[in-house]
Amino acid sequence: MDDERFDRLVTDLRGEDAPRVWSLLVTVFGDMAQDGSSISASVLSQITARIGIKPEAMRVALHRLRKDGWIESERRGRSSDYRLSPQGRAESVQASPRIYGDADPTGACWLVLTDPGGDGTPCDRGIWVTPNIGILPALPEGGEVFATQIEDGAELPDWMRAKLCPPVTLALARALGARLAQLTVALEAGPMPDPLQQTVLRVLIVHEWRRIVLKMPLLPDHVWPEGWAAAGCRDKVGRLLDLLPRQDPAALDAALVA
Q: Would you list the DSSP string of 102-138?
A: -S-S-S--EEEE--TTS----BTTBEEEETTEEEESS
- pLDDT for the residue numbered 177: 95
Say if strands 79-84 and 133-136 run parallel, antiparallel, or are unpaired. Answer: unpaired
Of 231, 226, 227, the C-alpha closest to 106 is 231
Q: Is there a contact between 6 and 193 (Cβ–Cβ < 8 Å)?
A: yes
- pLDDT for the residue numbered 137: 87
Phi then psi dihedrals of residue 56, to 5 deg: -60, -40
- The Cβ-side half-sphere exposure at 244, using a 13 Å CA radius, reads 31
- pLDDT for the residue numbered 122: 42
Cβ-count burial 157-192 (b if 16+ within 10 Å, e if not): eeebbbbbbeeebbebbbebbebbeebeebbeeeee
- What distance in Å separates the CA atoms of residue 142 and residue 218, rounded to the nearest whole number? 21
Question: If pLDDT is split at 50, 70 and 90, which confidence band does 141 have?
Answer: confident
Does position 105 have pLDDT exceeding 90, yes or no? no
Of 105, 156, 154, 155, the C-alpha closest to 129 is 156
Average pLDDT of the residues of the chain: 89
- pLDDT for the residue numbered 70: 96
Question: If pLDDT is split at 50, 70 and 90, which confidence band does 123 have?
Answer: very low
Q: Which residues does 45 contact at the CB level (< 8 Å), separation at least 6?
A: 55, 58
Q: Is there a contact between 215 and 48 (Cβ–Cβ < 8 Å)?
A: no
- What distance in Å separates the CA atoms of residue 122 and residue 130, rounded to the nearest whole number? 9
- pLDDT for the residue numbered 118: 56
Q: Which of the listed ranges 66-70, 170-174, 211-215 does the model predict with the highest average pLDDT? A: 66-70
pLDDT digits (tens, 9 = 90+) for 145-166: 898 999 988 889 999 999 988 8
Q: Is there a contact between 62 and 84 (Cβ–Cβ < 8 Å)?
A: no
pLDDT digits (tens, 9 = 90+) for 14-35: 877 778 999 999 999 999 999 9
Please list the residues that pair with 83 across neighbouring strands.
72
132 vs 106 pLDDT, higher one: 132
Per DSSP, 151 falls in state: -
Q: What global pTM score does this model have?
A: 0.90
- pLDDT for the residue numbered 121: 45
Mean pLDDT of 210-238: 89
Does position 244 have pLDDT exceeding 60, yes or no? yes
Does position 241 have pLDDT exceeding 80, yes or no? yes
- What distance in Å separates the CA atoms of residue 31 and residue 29, rounded to the nearest whole number? 5
Of 49, 12, 10, the C-alpha closest to 178 is 12
Least confident of 35-44, 72-81, 121-130, 192-201: 121-130
Does position 78 have pLDDT exceeding 60, yes or no? yes
- pLDDT for the residue numbered 120: 47
Mean pLDDT of 206-219: 91
Mean pLDDT of 173-200: 94
